[in-house]
Amino acid sequence: MFITFEGIEGTGKSTQIALLKEYMQARGERVVVTLEPGGSRIGAELRRVLLALENRDLTSQAELFLYLADRAQHVAQVVRPALASGAVVLCDRFADSTVAYQGYGRGMDPELLHRLNAVAVDGLWPELTILLDLDPVIGLERAVARNLSEGKTNAEGRFEAESLAFHSRVREGFLKLAAAHPERISVVDATGTPEEIAPRVRALVEARLHA
């Protein structure tokens, strides 16, 4: 089963993935946790280029193709083999992030981005996407606090440095995607503690497993 997690910065995606991993493992599943950008060996190099503050001069078009390159490599080398081996794959961001950030955030055509995503994923779409939805004011506060505590300010701050208006457009973009694909994308309110949010995530996964 292929499950992706989406949302703006600071929604707690990686925490929820870790909690769901424990839960699925306790049920006897083999779980592979991965992320975009950066889930493959080559992707890790692309991630550094994409997120470094020093790369503020990266054009929107170049940025788009680096995300798509990361995705194509990740699907072929990590996600598809893991699914073929019978693992549950939990992925922190996937194709919807490109439509939300490069489309609704940067202003590129969402339909065109969907077609480019289709090339990158080569037929492999998630069975379930959990959209952690949060007010960007709260999300950015959380993301900046986390980056400071992890000493990541210079290495990976390019998106946190974007304006609140940018993150608001990205959030609205995710919500539009969820409205357009209700069979795949489920919205979870990400306000509250991780322990409050985890049962909401588990309920969605259980419902999908028994569907």
Q: Report, in Å, the least distance between residue 16 CB and ligand TMP.
A: 13
Is residue 117 involved in binding ligand TMP (CB under 6 A)? no
Q: Segment contacting ligand TMP (CB under 6 A): 21-29, 30-38, 72-80, 196-204?
A: 30-38
Whole-number Å distance between alpha carbons of 42 and 29: 28
Judged by CB under 6 A, the chain residues 126 through 165 that form the site for ligand TMP are 159
Q: Please give the C-alpha separations between residue 18 and each of 85, 188, 202, in angstroms, as whole numbers.
A: 21, 16, 12
What's the CA angle centered on 160, arms 154 and 164, to 5 degrees? Answer: 150
- The answer to the question of residue 97 lying near ligand TMP (CB under 6 A) is yes
With the C-alpha atoms ordered 71, 73, 78, 79, is the resulting torsion angle positive or negative?
Answer: positive
Q: How far is the CB of 185 from ligand TMP (least distance, A)?
A: 15
Which among 9, 52, 38, 59 has a CA at the least distance from the CA of 167?
9
From the list 22-30, 90-98, 127-135, 182-190, the region that binds ligand TMP by CB under 6 A is 90-98
6 binds ligand TMP (CB under 6 A): no
Identify the residue among 2, 5, 67, 104 touching ligand TMP (CB under 6 A): 67
The one-letter code for the residue type at 40 is: S
- Least distance (Å) between residue 205 CB and ligand TMP: 21
- Orientation of helix 164-180 relative to helix 136-149, angle to 10°: 120
Contact footprint for ligand TMP (CB under 6 A)? 9, 35-37, 67, 93, 97-98, 101-102, 159
